[in-house]
Amino acid sequence: MAKTDTTSFEKKLFKAADKLRKNIDAAEYKHVVLGLIFLK
């Protein structure tokens, strides 16, 4: 059951990242991604 919750949470994160990617230049987006990686 925990795996399903984790999977749905990851899908939500990827959808949010897709929305950000459309609005932010690639050079600026890398800072967002790196921050999320180090947050994990």
Q: What does the pLDDT read at residue 32?
A: 75
With contact defined as beta carbons under 8 Å apart, do 14 and 6 qualify? no
With contact defined as beta carbons under 8 Å apart, do 16 and 4 qualify? no
Q: How far apart are CA 14 and CA 23, in angstroms?
A: 15
Q: What does the pLDDT read at residue 2?
A: 56
Q: What does the pLDDT read at residue 3?
A: 63
1-40 tens-digit pLDDT: 456 677 888 888 888 878 877 776 778 778 877 888 887 6
C-alpha dist (Å) from residue 19 to 1, 15, 16, 40: 28, 6, 5, 20
Total structural domains within the chain: 1
Q: What does the pLDDT read at residue 40?
A: 61
DSSP letter, residue 1: -
Q: What does the pLDDT read at residue 16?
A: 84
Structural domain range at position 6: 2-39
